[in-house]
Amino acid sequence: MAAILMDGNALRDEIIAGLRVTVEAAGSPPICLATVLVGNDGPSQRYVASKHKKALEAGLVARHVDLPDTATQGEVEAAVRELTEDVSVHGVLVQLPLPDGLDPEPVLDLIPPEKDVDGLTERSMGRLLRNRPGLVGCTPNGVMRLLEKYEVPTSGSRAVVIGRSTLVGLPLSLLLNRKGADATVTMAHSRTADMNAVVREADIVIGAAGQAGMITGDMIKPGAAVIDVGVSRTEAGIVGDVDRLSVEPVAGWLTPMPGGTGPMTIACLMENTLSAAQLQSAFPA
């Protein structure tokens, strides 16, 4: 039997429609998501544009700061600092990657945890690690929401996350391992020995390596949930880490690429913006 496809577009639309109802019902002053883009990388420009479009659909307002790729570290930091200090801005997102020569760490760490809608700063990551309330990264959160929506059992399951970045693999491993989700998690990476054997043990497989088609059907335990986060741009279009053709007949659940985890990242960004406004007491909790 073919895998159940986990429709990220449908769940994103459901979440955004729900947010709009909540925002309109509250009748509060506008909730604002601010984005900062440095340089003119095409995919980054498209990501930011789609975030703004969905923010408006969710009943939020969006502000954007565009900086040239010649911007200095000081200029980028000044722009971010200004947004963090503006009480009419509730969430601040710096689109990554920054152009070569700019260090993202000090830029991100200017964002206070209550405005850190990407959940990427040192303090937000620390809260996640310490299991304290806070804003959690949108992509890892989006994966958890998909698992929940499609009732994929996590408790007692064995999960393998391929990738250990602070953006995706590491926070997602922590979320899967947390009380409540209760998976036993293996975090795999480029030095993992015998990846096939590691993946074959898993009830939940997350591909977050950015290696086109690296997860194939012969690696998958029958009935496992396979979540594709990796994005590779090829001549044939956008391709994930999962080789859908061979995996779909074996897996129990599968996210399509595109249309799986990407839309969920945006939906969770909008949720985080509303949560950020609540943390700043700008919206009823």
Ligand X SMILES: NC(=O)c1ccc[n+]([C@@H]2O[C@H](COP(=O)([O-])OP(=O)(O)OC[C@H]3O[C@@H](n4cnc5c(N)ncnc54)[C@H](OP(=O)(O)O)[C@@H]3O)[C@@H](O)[C@H]2O)c1
The catalytic residue positions are 51, 95, 118
Would you say 26 or 195 has its CB closer to ligand X?
195
194 binds ligand X per the rule CB under 6 A: no
Q: How far is the CB of 267 from ligand X (least distance, A)?
A: 10
Using omega within 30 degrees of 0 as the cis cutoff, is the peptide bond preceding 43 cis? no
Sign of the CA dihedral with 256 first, then 261, 263, and 267 last: positive
Q: How far is the CB of 188 from ligand X (least distance, A)?
A: 6
CA angle 45, 47, 140 (to 5 degrees): 145
SS3 call for 138: helix
How many CB atoms lie under 10 A from the CB of residue 188? 23
How would you classify the pairing of strands 237-239 and 232-234? antiparallel
Considering only 73, 189, 218, 222, the residue that binds ligand X (CB under 6 A) is 189
Rg for the chain (alpha carbons), in Å? 19
169 binds ligand X per the rule CB under 6 A: yes
255 binds ligand X per the rule CB under 6 A: no
Sign of the CA dihedral with 157 first, then 135, 284, and 61 last: negative
262 binds ligand X per the rule CB under 6 A: yes
Q: Using CB under 6 A, which residues numbered 210 to 239 contact ligand X?
A: 210-211, 214, 229-231
Which range, of 22-30, 46-54, 123-131, 209-217, touches ligand X by CB under 6 A? 209-217
Where do contacts with ligand X occur on this chain (CB under 6 A)?
139, 162-165, 167-169, 188-192, 208-211, 214, 229-231, 261-262, 265
